[in-house]
């Protein structure tokens, strides 16, 4: 090991970073956030629940369906089969359903514990508003009355509407479409140690996780009204960046004959429009679990490539992205449990940065984050590192409290200790980089590495022992770090 920072020094750095970023966040003029927003109906699945579900649909059919591995939920058997798989493996998954029958069936057979704001754009807008960002301009193509109630009640959340040809902003609760139905996703959470039986076999859930049943009614379209599109450039001066997500909902084909190509083109046009007249506009895309490989590839190669500055994703998503970009071996190494997985993760992040012509790629994992950035990005590695530590503090706050009401709430997570395991996991990467002469051990342990072709920033993170929940923490991490980046860029702009 080199002579770099030990855990205590990291803890001090965390406090400084949180303070530094908190102080400048209000310098950001605003952030545009679109597209996906839904209500999350959350149910914690206990032993009695899973047994009840299995016996309701029939053991035999579940057993059979498990082997078929349904990638879409068409009936209750598909649902129970995917739940059994998720619980057996302890893995996170999100599976779409195109029928409203499943929601009814779940209401009759399971009933949820609580309902919350869901979807990347929904979760991120509430977070940014609570952090005090001046303008959080949120756009959801399907804003229903029920959905609108889940937005925090603050004046900085603004929904764009066009009235008499003029762009105006209202709180979502004054801008919803009263004919629109809500999109409700089910989050079935389960805990490590839960036992269940299927066909004489007893399974024990290996780790806390969740299965998301994502409802995709036919009216779910990732698109923007023509009116708003025409007025987008009028937001110039009000926003410094945009966070876009929800592209996973694009379908290959629609009932009316249109294909994904149409929506991909529209998505790109929106980005181009946002950048018009503002060369400093930064766009972050939150990548997520995308079952359909055609769509996954189109998102990366057509939407992200050349148009987007920053990409946020977890380790499985890095593997999924590498897979459709033709790096199957590297993808396999990323998800393998071996000691090379962390160096594969780094190499994978570099591939995404270069091949997709991004400015930064932020990979989050339990216990550490890895970020690679282009060398000509106008921030220092230390500034990048502050952004990561700020976001890791927010992540811990969310794991601790379930949500983050203010910067002060976030600050309470500074007391959560840095994960020793995460710090140790990073040693594998250190060995790899030192061996390859990318950096010295000391540079590595400070987390700030200027490699030949890119900057690399690694940090150990704070991990909460018994999190209240984990849904949406990834969104908080990516949005928190991106907001910090925007704040620092804006400060430079003003100082110059
Ligand atoms: P995704 O939902 O995108 O997978 O992101 C989840 C992220 O939440 C993980 O990458 C990890 O960094 C963070 N996380 C989880 Br899961 N549990 C956490 C905990 N107990 N404390 C802090 N962060 C956590
Ligand atoms: C996905 C899910 C949504 C959930 C979110 C959390 O967008 O569809 O239900 O709230 O992920 O990150």
Report CA(405)–ligand 1 centroid distance (Å). Answer: 19
Query: What is the mean predicted confidence (pLDDT) over 175-195?
Result: 95
Q: State whether 204 and 229 are in the same domain.
A: no
Confidence category of residue 224, pLDDT binned at 50, 70, 90: very high
Q: Whose CA is nearest to atom 3 of ligand 2?
A: 119
* Position 1 in a domain: no
Q: State whether 400 and 302 are in the same domain.
A: yes
Q: What percent of the chain has pLDDT over 90?
A: 91
What pLDDT shows up at residue 4? 66
State the CATH number of the domain containing residue 238: 3.40.1190.20
Query: What is the mean predicted confidence (pLDDT) over 248-272?
Result: 96
pLDDT per residue as tens digits for the range 295-326: 999 999 999 999 999 999 999 999 999 999 99
* Position 409 in a domain: yes
Number of separate domains in the chain: 2
* Position 241 in a domain: yes
- What value does the mean pLDDT of the chain take? 95
Q: State whether 271 and 381 are in the same domain.
A: yes
> Of the bound ligands, which one is closest to the alpha carbon of residue 36?
2
> Of the bound ligands, which one is closest to the alpha carbon of residue 96?
2
Mutation probe of ligand 2 site: the residue of 92, 286, 469, 471 with most atoms within 8 A of C-beta = 471
What pLDDT shows up at residue 414? 98
Q: Would the pLDDT of 1 be above 80? A: no
Q: State whether 350 and 389 are in the same domain.
A: yes
Q: State whether 293 and 152 are in the same domain.
A: yes
* Position 392 in a domain: yes
Q: Known catalytic residue: 208?
A: no
Ligand 2 binding pocket, CB closer than 6 Å? 36, 38, 40, 94, 118-120, 123, 185, 212, 214, 471-472, 474-475
What pLDDT shows up at residue 482? 98
Mutation probe of ligand 1 site: the residue of 245, 316, 395 with most atoms within 8 A of C-beta = 395
Q: State whether 168 and 48 are in the same domain.
A: no
* Position 426 in a domain: yes
Q: Whose CA is nearest to atom 10 of ligand 2?
A: 118
What pLDDT shows up at residue 3? 59
Selected catalytic residue, list 49, 75, 475, 495:
475
What pLDDT shows up at residue 337? 81
pLDDT per residue as tens digits for the range 322-355: 999 999 999 999 999 888 899 999 999 999 999 9
Q: What percent of the chain has pLDDT over 70?
A: 99
Query: What is the mean predicted confidence (pLDDT) over 47-75?
Result: 95
Confidence category of residue 25, pLDDT binned at 50, 70, 90: very high
pLDDT per residue as tens digits for the range 355-379: 999 999 999 999 999 999 999 999 9
Atom of ligand 1 nearest to the CA of 367: 12
Residue 462, domain extent: 7-37+119-174+218-495
Atom of ligand 1 nearest to the CA of 478: 3
**Within a 10 A sphere around the Cβ of 233, how many other Cβ atoms?**
14
Query: What is the mean predicted confidence (pLDDT) over 267-274?
Result: 97
pLDDT per residue as tens digits for the range 62-121: 999 999 999 999 999 999 999 999 999 988 889 999 988 999 999 999 989 999 999 999
Q: Is the dihedral of CA 482, 240, 320, 140 positive or negative?
A: positive
Q: State whether 137 and 247 are in the same domain.
A: yes
Mutation probe of ligand 1 site: the residue of 40, 369, 474 with most atoms within 8 A of C-beta = 474
pLDDT per residue as tens digits for the range 429-458: 999 999 999 999 999 999 999 999 999 999
Q: State whether 160 and 73 are in the same domain.
A: no
Q: State whether 454 and 478 are in the same domain.
A: yes
* Position 2 in a domain: no
Q: State whether 297 and 309 are in the same domain.
A: yes
pLDDT per residue as tens digits for the range 115-169: 999 999 999 999 999 999 999 999 999 999 999 999 999 999 999 999 999 999 9
Report CA(473)–ligand 1 centroid distance (Å). Answer: 5
What pLDDT shows up at residue 418? 97
Q: State whether 249 and 347 are in the same domain.
A: yes
Atom of ligand 2 nearest to the CA of 471: 6
Higher pLDDT, 340 or 222: 222
State the CATH number of the domain containing residue 45: 3.30.1110.20
Q: State whether 322 and 380 are in the same domain.
A: yes
């Amino acid at each position: 090991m080199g002579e770099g920072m030990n855990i205590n020094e990291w803890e001090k750095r965390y406090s400084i970073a949180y303070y530094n970023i908190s102080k400048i966040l209000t310098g950001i003029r605003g952030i545009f956030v679109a597209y996906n927003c839904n209500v999350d109906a959350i149910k914690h699945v206990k032993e009695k629940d899973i047994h009840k579900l299995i016996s309701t649909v029939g053991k035999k059919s579940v057993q059979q369906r498990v082997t078929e591995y349904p990638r879409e939920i068409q009936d209750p058997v598909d649902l129970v089969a995917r739940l059994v798989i998720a619980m057996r493996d302890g893995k996170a998954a999100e599976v779409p359903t195109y029928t409203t029958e499943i929601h009814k069936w779940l209401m009759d057979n399971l009933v949820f514990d609580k309902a919350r704001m869901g979807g990347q754009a929904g979760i991120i807008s509430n977070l940014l508003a609570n952090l005090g960002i001046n303008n959080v301009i949120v756009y959801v193509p399907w804003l229903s009355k029920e959905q609108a109630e889940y937005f925090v009640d603050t004046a900085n959340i603004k929904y764009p509407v066009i009235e008499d040809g003029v762009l105006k902003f209202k709180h979502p609760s004054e801008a919803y479409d009263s004919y629109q139905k809500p999109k409700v996703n089910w989050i079935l959470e389960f805990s490590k140690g839960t036992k269940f039986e299927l066909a004489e076999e007893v399974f024990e859930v290996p780790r806390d996780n969740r299965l998301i049943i994502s409802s995709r009614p036919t009216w779910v379209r990732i698109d923007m009204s023509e009116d708003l599109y025409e007025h987008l450039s009028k937001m110039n001066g009000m926003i410094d960046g945009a966070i876009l997500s929800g592209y996973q909902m694009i379908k290959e084909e629609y009932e009316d004959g249109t294909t994904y190509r149409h929506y991909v083109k529209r998505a790109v046009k929106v980005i181009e429009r946002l950048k018009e007249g503002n060369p400093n506009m930064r766009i972050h895309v939150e990548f997520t679990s995308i079952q359909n490989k055609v769509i996954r590839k189109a998102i990366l190669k057509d939407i992200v490539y050349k148009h987007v500055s920053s990409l946020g994703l977890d380790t499985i998503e890095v593997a999924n992205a590498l897979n459709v970009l033709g790096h199957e071996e590297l993808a396999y190494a990323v998800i393998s449990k071996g000691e090379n997985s962390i160096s594969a993760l780094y190499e994978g992040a570099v591939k995404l940065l270069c091949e997709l012509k991004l400015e930064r790629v932020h990979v989050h994992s339990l216990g550490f984050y890895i970020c690679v950035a282009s060398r000509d990005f106008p921030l220092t590695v230390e500034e990048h590192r502050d952004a990561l530590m700020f976001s890791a503090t927010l992540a811990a706050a969310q794991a601790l409290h379930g949500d983050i009401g203010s910067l002060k709430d976030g600050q309470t997570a500074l007391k959560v200790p840095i994960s020793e395991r995460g710090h140790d996991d990073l040693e594998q990467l250190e060995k790899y980089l030192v061996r390859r002469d990318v950096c010295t051990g000391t540079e590595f342990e400070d987390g700030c590495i200027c490699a030949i072709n890119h900057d690399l920033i690694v940090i150990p993170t704070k991990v909460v022992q018994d999190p209240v929940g984990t849904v949406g923490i990834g969104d908080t991490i990516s949005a928190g770090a991106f907001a910090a980046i925007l704040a620092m860029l804006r400060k430079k702009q003003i100082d110059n």
